[in-house]
Amino acid sequence: MGVDLRDIVKPRPIQLEALSGRVIAFDAYNALYAFLSVIRGEAGEPLMDSHGRITSHLSGLFYRNINFLSLSIRPLYVFDGIPPSLKSMEIARRRAVKEEAVIKYSEALQRGDMEAARKYAQATAYIKDYMVEDAKRLLDCLGIPYVDAPSEGEATAAHLTQTGVAYAVASQDFDSLLFGAKILVRNLTISGKRKLPNKPIYVNIEPEIIDAPSLTQSLGLTREQLVDVGILVGTDFNPDGFKGVGPAKALKLIKTYGRLEDIPEIQEELSKIDYRAIREIFLHPKVPGSISVRWNEPDEDAIIQFLVKERSFSEERVRNALARYREAAAKRTSTLESWF
């Protein structure tokens, strides 16, 4: 689910080229879910290899990262570890939503409603162990480093921006702001034309950036108060939030009273959740110690072996993507040499 702060967060658009030379810490599971949800056939079916293994995530991971590398953007992926026990309710809710979506997807196919089938199919995406293993293998082939977080991936990604390892966190969710990310970049994995739900309208989805210090200053909040706003709205650790409280009202309540404990109208509901533990998760999350990462040149032979020979990708498309990367890399080298 993630915390919904859209009504009070005002991102600004950004061109991918503006991230050139930057290290971007991607919430790996968030990115994989985006690829698994969006990269599908007309009837909502995922891409598969000749053995029936899903490859939508590999397609997104390969072509997106080739584009990033061609622009001199340095991706760094962070994979989730063991989730906090308080997340169990949200995990159960997500499982129920997916199970219901599977049923509705099947019903839509039976009545020939391809638009509805595709919509429900996007909500059925699961990340299985072999998908994570495949993703890490592909990242190795691409020369892109990854980190296994001890707990929440977004917490570790945020930590990387605090320690100077990364410039920004890339995620669709706003949770990394509560975890202390200095900068959040959204829509790096799903930019392009997208259809609005239940409407025959397509909109352009472009990358956008949020500067956390500027955000809290403009809202007149501390980071601790932003966390309290998130708890009021609802987080992965209290998914129901507080009745009748959206982002705007949550902001008003915290600005008026300062903290959760001092808001008179929510005290009964507040007593039913472990809000102090939720605060602790966001303010002092489990993160790794010192992290050393390194980028290498893509191993083209390994990529062809994995994607083409083992996962049924089009050899022509894969080689063309690699050629575009080589051309971009050569152009950068030529431009650099011209300065000397």
Domain ranges of the chain: 12-219
Separation between Cα atoms, residue 156 and residue 287, nearest integer Å: 5
pTM for the full model?
Answer: 0.91
Rounded to the nearest 5 percent, the helix, strand and coil shares of the chain are 50, 10, 35
The whole-number pLDDT of residue 340 equals: 40
CA 215 to chain centre: 20
Question: At a CB cut-off of 8 Å and minimum separation 6, what does 165 contact?
Answer: 23, 25, 76, 291, 293
Local mean pLDDT, 10-residue blocks, the chain (340 residues): 88 94 96 92 91 96 97 97 88 87 87 85 88 97 97 97 96 95 92 58 82 96 97 94 95 97 95 96 94 94 98 97 94 57
Select 12-219's CATH number: 3.50.50.100, 3.40.50.1010, 3.30.710.10, 3.30.70.20.
Answer: 3.40.50.1010
